[in-house]
Amino acid sequence: MPYKTLSELPPPVKDNLPTHAEEIYMAAYNSAWEQHGKENNAEIICNSIAWAAVKKAYKKNTEGKWVAKEAVHPHGEHICVCSKCGKEITVQEDVRCNTQECPECGAPMVAKEAGEKRTKEAIMPNKLSDENKRQLIQQGLTTEYGLGVDDTIPRGVWVEDVFESEVIYNVNGQSYKVSYKLGEDGKTTFGEPEKVARQTIYKPLESLRTTYSEIIQEAGRRNANLDSARIKKIVALCQELLSSEEPEEKETKEALKEAKSVLTLIKEQAVMKTEDGMKFPAAAYAYIGDPEKSTTWKLRLWEDPTKKVTRAQLGRAAAALSPGGFRGQKVAIPSADLPAVKRKIRAEYRKLDVEDEEIPRWVREVETREEVLDYIPLTEVTFDKGRATVIIIKAGFNATKDRYYPKEVLQRDYGIFEGLKMYADHPTESEEKERPERSIREWVATLKDVTCDESGTVAGVAEIIEPWLMQKLAALRDKQMLSEMGISINAVGSASKTTIDGVETLSIEKLERANSVDFVTEPGAGGVVTLYESDRQRNVDLVELATLKERRPDLVKLIETNVRAEITKEVKKHMDDQERITELEGQIETLTTERDNLKEAAEKAEKEKAQAEAQALIKEAVDKAELPDAAKERLIERFKDAESAEGIEEAIKAEADYIAKLSEAGKVKNLGGSTPNPEKDKEALKESFKRMNPEWTDAQLETAVSGR
């Protein structure tokens, strides 16, 4: 983000740079942010530009401190004067006035007289170096704006580019162009400034900057290790060149070439998305809007990179598609992509052997049992010594696009083709009715070693048992006519209606069973057609309920009777279970009450025991105390409900102290020189106690009078 004050600058800047250099950094950074602020890694780009601006005017000296370039005065010590209060100071030859602040008021210092102690030849504009010219213009602009260290508007002025008769300078992020003229006395005069906008021209250095930014960005998006030796080396080289004042063009081009090569290398690595502190590839998500933009990936199916897909994580993904969302968060998936997303989640559930009934309803679709028919030409077949490797089925649409085979389904269910008998030609309709189990005479091979690759292509080895078929395949191969024969499958699977790539089709959700894989010929030149169409009314795998009710009502009635009996049995079992549950709940309630009563009685007994023990200790302590009976009775009454003897000793002592004070208070004092009469005083005190405590006995009165 842009900086508002110098105090906000990062520590490497404000802890090391002079104030003027800090102003250059902040102005350059803020100006760069206006152009690059919306780009990825904007802070890196702006930081690089800001440091480059600083290094144009400042450098590190031998002590490692940042000083203005060419800050050595041509003729040794010289005088600087405050631009505000006129205070003069003398500085050394390696100090420039425009880097100093007034010790009195803090305003910028300037040379007492531009070119003072310089020869006329030394300050002639055509004899000045580019850096000296830049510094004179910088000084002139500072004086022109009358800036002080506490000025905030404008905060600072710094030179961006110097040309023969014009200069581009920056004030608070806005660039200006103005004509200038350097006088023989070193003073600069300026014309009227006009606002200008910076434009980027992509020279090798700018291309390197762009490529470097892409490297940093792509390394963050992908599983790239920035500690890799090659990546680390080019990153360091880019940083060095981009922070240099004027790098060699040859070196820049070589670095650019290597940077582009490294960028290509990084882009070849998979894009990753970070969630919960872990990196996940696109394969971990059900929806991938753009494979190159991980921000478009939604519905993570992997719990973590080690466990990958788990049932718990699938449940979270399914819940996110529900009306209420997962923990209130509902994911938004484009309607055109939603069927495919649900299909992918269902496929993952089935990989975990989760029954269809247990799959959350938010991702289920209405499914029907459908016949799976497909034809693959033998163009890609390879065979040798009675064994032919054939392709059985491929992921994607079939030839007529009325079926779609997701690769995830084929990768999961390809095993149904293992060990299947292969026949020569599909049976005719009449043969299917008369001999559905097929004839042994038509059995020509057996399918073994069935596999499915990453693309969803299912292949297997046909162990050919009929020599004539092997001879025919060899002849077709030699005459380059293998495409005239193909493999045709007949299987049964569940499917759901969907739209894929704008085509309404049936997407196969699961391959239930394979009936046959046959060697057939491809008829006609107009494309592949299915040679075999089954009768849904005759095929038990596909028969509908309406047909079954019409053709076999007896079978339907038997099924209904069996189902009704099973339901009755389950209902009776449920009722018995409910009665048992009610009975057990009653027993639990009774036991709970008994337990609570016993617990309460035990607590009461424990309390009474503690109280009895405490009262015994209290009575023993009171009996031993030398107190009047009335005092003892008061103590016993006070502690009658105590469950411990804690505090009784302190109470006894307090009672004794109280009585002693009363005894002392009863004595007559300070009445002059009369002769004391102890016996008479004692009797008077005794009478006083008796009036106050008429219930006391003589012994108690004696104890009180004696002060014991």
Domain extents for the chain?
Answer: 1-67, 204-267, 273-355, 367-549, 552-651, 666-708
Q: How many CA atoms lie within 13 A of 173 on its CB side?
A: 13
* Residue where the block lists tokens 């592949």: 528
Dist. CA 266–CA 260, nearest whole Å:
10
**490-503 confidence digits (pLDDT tens):** 888 888 888 888 88
Long-range contacts of 16-23 (CB under 8 A, 24+ apart): 16/66, 17/54, 17/58, 17/66, 18/58, 18/66, 18/67, 18/68, 18/99, 19/101, 19/149, 20/57, 20/68, 20/98, 20/99, 20/156, 21/54, 21/57, 21/58, 21/66, 23/155, 23/156, 23/158
Q: How many CA atoms lie within 13 A of 354 on its CB side?
A: 20
Which pLDDT belongs to residue 339?
A: 87
* Residues paired with residue 201 on neighbouring β-strands, in sequence order: none
Q: Does 36 have pLDDT greater than 80?
A: no
**526-563 confidence digits (pLDDT tens):** 222 222 333 444 455 555 666 667 666 767 778 888 88
Q: Does 701 have pLDDT greater than 60?
A: yes
Identify the band that residue 372 occupies on the pLDDT scale cut at 50, 70 and 90.
Answer: low
* Residues paired with residue 404 on neighbouring β-strands, in sequence order: 397, 507
Dist. CA 243–CA 236, nearest whole Å:
11
* Residue where the block lists tokens 């091979």: 445
* Residues paired with residue 462 on neighbouring β-strands, in sequence order: 388, 447
Percent of the chain with pLDDT over 90: 6
Which pLDDT belongs to residue 315?
A: 92
- Backbone dihedral angles phi then psi of residue 421, each to the nearest 5 degrees: -75, 140
Q: How many CA atoms lie within 13 A of 381 on its CB side?
A: 28
Of the ranges 55-69, 305-319, 351-365, 603-617, which one carries the lowest mean pLDDT score? 55-69
Selected residue with higher pLDDT from 247 and 26: 26
Under 8 Å between Cβ of 456 and 394:
yes
- Measuring CA to CA, which residue among 55, 66, 33, 31 is closest to residue 168? 31
Which pLDDT belongs to residue 399?
A: 80
- To which H or E segment does residue 489 belong? strand 485-500
Q: Does 147 have pLDDT greater than 70?
A: no
Identify the band that residue 263 occupies on the pLDDT scale cut at 50, 70 and 90.
Answer: confident
* pLDDT mean over 72-93: 72
Identify the band that residue 309 occupies on the pLDDT scale cut at 50, 70 and 90.
Answer: very high
Which pLDDT belongs to residue 196?
A: 83
How high is the mean pLDDT of the chain? Answer: 78
* pLDDT mean over 629-652: 83
Work out whether strand 78-82 and strand 88-91 pair parallel, antiparallel, or are unpaired.
antiparallel
How many beta carbons lie within 10 A of that of residue 305, not counting itself? 12
Under 8 Å between Cβ of 135 and 70:
yes
Dist. CA 156–CA 145, nearest whole Å:
9
**313-328 confidence digits (pLDDT tens):** 999 999 999 888 888 8
Sign of CA dihedral 281, 283, 285, 288: positive
Which pLDDT belongs to residue 543?
A: 58
Q: Does 49 have pLDDT greater than 90?
A: no
- Measuring CA to CA, which residue among 476, 512, 482, 479 is closest to residue 494? 512
Under 8 Å between Cβ of 83 and 146:
yes
| Residues whose CB is less than 8 angstroms from the CB of residue 283 and which lie 6 or more positions away in sequence, other chains included | none
Which pLDDT belongs to residue 287?
A: 93
- In this structure, what token pair is assigned to residue 437? 């189990």
* Residues paired with residue 170 on neighbouring β-strands, in sequence order: 158, 175
Q: Does 687 have pLDDT greater than 50?
A: yes
DSSP-derived 3-state class of residue 338: helix
What's at 161, amino acid-wise?
Answer: D
pTM exceeds 0.85, yes or no: no
- In this structure, what token pair is assigned to residue 481? 């006519």
Q: Does 184 have pLDDT greater than 50?
A: yes
Which pLDDT belongs to residue 316?
A: 92
DSSP-derived 3-state class of residue 377: strand
Q: Does 231 have pLDDT greater than 80?
A: yes
Of the ranges 175-189, 334-348, 596-610, 669-683, which one carries the lowest mean pLDDT score? 669-683
| Residues whose CB is less than 8 angstroms from the CB of residue 153 and which lie 6 or more positions away in sequence, other chains included | 172
Identify the band that residue 432 occupies on the pLDDT scale cut at 50, 70 and 90.
Answer: low
**198-214 confidence digits (pLDDT tens):** 665 556 777 888 888 88
Q: How many residues does the structure list for the chain?
A: 708
Which range is most confident: 163-167, 377-381, 451-455?
Answer: 451-455
Longest dimension (CA), the chain: 160
- In this structure, what token pair is assigned to residue 693? 């405590």
- In this structure, what token pair is assigned to residue 539? 């095929």
Selected residue with higher pLDDT from 386 and 129: 386
Of the ranges 215-224, 409-418, 631-640, which one carries the lowest mean pLDDT score? 215-224
Which pLDDT belongs to residue 525?
A: 26
Give the E-state strand segments of 38-150 in sequence order: 58-60, 66-68, 78-82, 88-91, 109-111
CA distances from 462 to 387, 394, 439, 490, 532 (A): 6, 17, 18, 16, 21
Which pLDDT belongs to residue 534?
A: 37
- To which H or E segment does residue 97 belong? none
Under 8 Å between Cβ of 333 and 346:
no
Dist. CA 479–CA 484, nearest whole Å:
11
Dist. CA 686–CA 233, nearest whole Å:
109
Q: Does 149 have pLDDT greater than 80?
A: no
Under 8 Å between Cβ of 341 and 364:
no
- Measuring CA to CA, which residue among 239, 17, 58 is closest to residue 159? 58
Identify the band that residue 122 occupies on the pLDDT scale cut at 50, 70 and 90.
Answer: very low
Give per-residue burial for 341-357: e unless 16+ CB within 10 Å, then b.
bbbbbbbbbbeeeeeee
DSSP 292-325: TEEEEEEEE-BSSTTT-B-HHHHHHHHHHTSTT-
CATH of domain 1-67: 1.10.1740.70
* pLDDT mean over 350-355: 88
Under 8 Å between Cβ of 418 and 401:
no
Of the ranges 276-285, 509-518, 658-667, which one carries the lowest mean pLDDT score? 658-667
Which pLDDT belongs to residue 201?
A: 53
**594-626 confidence digits (pLDDT tens):** 888 888 888 888 888 888 888 888 888 888 888
Q: Does 110 have pLDDT greater than 70?
A: yes
CA distances from 121 to 110, 127, 128 (A): 21, 7, 9
Under 8 Å between Cβ of 108 and 98:
yes
